[in-house]
Structures are given as C-alpha cells and as structure tokens.
Amino acid sequence: MLVKTTGIVLRNLKYGESSLIVDIFSRDLGLQSYIVNGARKPRAAMAASLFQVMNQLDIVVYHHEKASLKRIKEVTPHTVYQRIPVDIRRSSIGVFLVEMIRNTLAHAESYPELFDYLADTFVQLDSQRNDLTVFALRVMLDLSRYLGFQPGEQIHPNEVYFDLQEGTYRASPPEHVHYLLPETTAFLAPLREPLGFEVTLPGFTAEHRKDMMDGLIMYYKLHLDQFREPRSRIILQQVLSS
C-alpha cells in the first residue's frame, strides 16, 4: 500500500553501481530501509543529495510489512537546513546525534512523539544557538526519557553522586564503579532543561563535558542491551575542543 509520511534520514549506503540503501525514521512507519534505484546517476529523478543524513523529507512509499527493503515513490524536502551544512560544529553534533538515534532504535515501530522531538531537535541545531558545546548532552538526556530510562530527580541537596546503574542520585558513592562524581553530577539538573531554552553553565569546563559524555555513554550501555558507542564521538570531542 502507499503511505505518505515525513521522515529523517539516518543512514545512506551505496548499493551497486548507482543505487542507494537509505534508513529513514518516519513519523508513521518508524525505522525502515529503502532502496532507491539510480539515485547516484546524473539527472536522477530522486537524486542522492536528497538523502543526506539528517535531511527531513516528505515521502510517499510502497509499504509492505514483510519486505525488508521497501521502495519510495515520491520524495520532496520537508525542512532545508541553513547552518548545519556549512558549520562543522553543528554538522558534527548532528552526525553524532544521528548515530546515537540509530544505535538506540532497535525496532521498526511508529513513535510519533519521538519523531516530532527529533525533527524539532535538528531544527533547533540549525538555529542561532549559543549552547552548542552542551547541545548533544541535553539531547542524550531527553532521548533517555523517550526510551524509558530517564534519570530520576534529586530529592535532597546532599545527594551529590549520580548512580548510572540505578539512574538515581545518592548521598554516597555506590559499591560499583558506574557513577558520576559530585563535580559532574552538579551539572546534570541544569542540562535537563527543555531544549527550547538555551542554558548557560558557569564553570562547566571541557573536562566536565568529557566526564559527562563518558557518563551518559555508559548510562546508555547499562540500560540498552543493543547500544553501541557512536564512532563519531571522537570527532565531536575534537571539534568542540578546538
């Protein structure tokens, strides 16, 4: 059957001499893989440039539940980014987030609320923001909420350690090694502010950012069996530190 929906490109792979295989997370169909024949040919009806990672597209697809590779009938741009393609910081953050998303979506299920959040996230990334150094951290915390393992709330001021294994604050270190030290835990609550608002974190250094990233990557590993650490993380750290 034909389905019209909006999607975000999460991966594209060259296939054969001129085709692409594209992973798209769409609002109505979830994560699906599509083959686009001839996309890399000159003057292709559906050009490869449309399927760049992060692109938001309006698509009409032939959807068959049992088919592992589906086909696209029509495609048009839904959102055209202005800054992401020309700003290495924004593009590096975006590539990292795409890899995070792809590594956490294990099933081809529709999740409209998550799709709407992610679509807005990339629009936010493309906008005029001053908090790019912590943008990925904030999205990682938000994404954990949609995936069902968001951190608990700090109840008492003396709870200065964050237990990554349990997802809770503690007054003393847990017996295992997976926790954030107080100097890093102190920044966790401010980073959970809604993404629509920019945050300023006085005293939040590059070392704090690295420790927080290490901690959140471990948090995902502890709570998602299939999670793989994004390879683009190293590039992101280098770009944000330059």
72 lies in the same domain as 113: no
89 lies in the same domain as 75: no
Q: What is the model's pLDDT at position 67?
A: 80
Average pLDDT, the chain: 95
124 lies in the same domain as 205: yes
What burial class does residue 6 get, using C-beta atoms within 10 Å of its C-beta: 0-12 exposed, 13-18 middle, 19+ buried? middle
Domain that holds residue 207: 84-241
3-state secondary structure 132-179: HHHHHHHHHHHHHHHHCCCCCCCCCCCCCEEECCCCEEECCCCCCCCE
Distance CA 104, CA 106 (A): 6
**pLDDT tens digit sequence for 197-213:** 899 899 999 999 999 99
75 lies in the same domain as 191: no
Q: What is the model's pLDDT at position 226?
A: 85
Q: What is the model's pLDDT at position 229?
A: 93
Which of 27, 60, 79 is the C-terminal boundary of a domain?
Answer: 79
Distance CA 232, CA 218 (A): 16
114 lies in the same domain as 166: yes
C-alpha closest to that of 98 among 235, 194, 210, 198: 235
We report the CATH number of the domain holding residue 12 as 2.40.50.140
**Percent of the chain residues topping a pLDDT of 90:** 89
Contact 122, 79 (CB under 8 A): yes
**pLDDT tens digit sequence for 83-92:** 999 999 999 9
49 lies in the same domain as 146: no
61 lies in the same domain as 170: no
We report the CATH number of the domain holding residue 151 as 1.20.1440.120
Which of 24, 45, 79 is the C-terminal boundary of a domain?
Answer: 79
Contact 14, 102 (CB under 8 A): no
Distance CA 141, CA 194 (A): 10
Which of 79, 108, 127 is the C-terminal boundary of a domain?
Answer: 79
* DSSP state, residue 196: T
130 lies in the same domain as 176: yes
* DSSP state, residue 69: S
70 lies in the same domain as 95: no
9 lies in the same domain as 39: yes
**pLDDT tens digit sequence for 109-141:** 899 999 999 999 999 999 989 999 999 999 999
Question: How many domains in the chain?
Answer: 2
Q: What is the model's pLDDT at position 180?
A: 98
119 lies in the same domain as 229: yes
Distance CA 36, CA 22 (A): 7
Q: What is the model's pLDDT at position 84?
A: 97
Q: What is the pTM of this model?
A: 0.94
- Is 106 a residue whose pLDDT tops 90? no
23 lies in the same domain as 55: yes
